[in-house]
């Protein structure tokens, strides 16, 4: 049976897939809209209870990562594709993945070392975390990213995930801080 939440996510996901393949700036507005719609739809779902998360199995999630990066002046949002893998049966390094295809940038970011905290109180803390590292380039400028992700699963069956991204960005003008968000839907098994 398809629930209303899954139907909304599926519809958003189809738009997401249509927008994911392009890096042209003319696609930035629809892509930003798709990222915002996906995050809004997932935010309507309850946070998955960490104590009832599966104890085995793999899940993959596809969505967007939005970063507010101070590249050559004030911070501006750049949206990239997010691919995450969750190994519910692992004892450590349960969350991994990548973010790439950021609008107007080359390079990519790796997500690693992520762990699930099954004992957390989702009212006060996040369910999983991980590191975010890599290099992004704009024209001839290189920016090193050293950050972290924190997030939670959404829905009774972990149909989606949402979270925050933050850390340091080092580029031609020195080091600065960045922040952002992420939202993704679970791929069908």
Nearest-angstrom CA–CA distance, 75 and 40: 22
What are the Cα distances from residue 38, in Å, to 3, 32, 160, 167, 179?
16, 10, 10, 23, 19
Cβ atoms of residues 169 and 155 within 8 Å: no
Nearest-angstrom CA–CA distance, 128 and 126: 6
pLDDT tens-digit series, residues 123-174 = 999 999 999 999 999 999 999 999 999 999 999 999 999 999 999 999 999 9
Q: With cut-offs at 50, 70 and 90, classify the pLDDT of residue 188.
A: confident
pLDDT tens-digit series, residues 52-109 = 999 999 999 999 999 999 998 899 999 999 999 999 999 999 999 999 999 999 999 9
- For 15, the 3-state DSSP assignment is helix
Show the CA angle centred on residue 150, arms to residues 63 and 78, nearest 5°. 45
**Residue with tokens 């809209």, as numbered in its chain:** 33
pLDDT tens-digit series, residues 33-52 = 899 999 999 999 999 999 99
**Residue with tokens 């080092």, as numbered in its chain:** 170
Containing 142, the helix (H) or strand (E) segment is strand 141-154
Higher pLDDT, 19 or 65: 65
Higher pLDDT, 96 or 188: 96
Q: What is the mean pLDDT of the chain?
A: 86
């Amino acid at each position: 049976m398809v629930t209303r939440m899954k139907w909304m996510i599926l519809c958003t996901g189809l738009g997401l897939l249509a927008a994911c393949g392009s890096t042209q700036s003319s696609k930035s507005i629809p892509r930003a809209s798709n990222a915002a719609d996906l995050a809004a739809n997932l935010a309507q779902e309850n946070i998955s209870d960490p104590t009832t998360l599966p104890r085995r199995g793999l899940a993959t999630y596809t969505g967007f990562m939005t970063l507010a990066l101070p590249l050559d002046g004030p911070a501006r949002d750049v949206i990239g594709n997010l691919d995450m893998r969750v190994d519910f049966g692992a004892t450590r390094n349960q969350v991994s993945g990548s973010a790439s295809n950021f609008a107007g940038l080359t390079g990519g970011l790796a997500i690693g070392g992520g762990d699930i905290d099954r004992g957390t109180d989702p009212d006060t803390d996040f369910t999983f975390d991980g590191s975010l590292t890599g290099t992004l380039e704009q024209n001839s400028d290189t920016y090193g990213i050293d950050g972290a992700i924190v997030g939670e699963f959404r829905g009774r069956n972990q149909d989606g995930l949402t979270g925050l991204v933050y850390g340091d960005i080092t580029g031609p003008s020195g080091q600065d801080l960045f922040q952002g968000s992420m939202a993704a839907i679970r791929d069908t098994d």
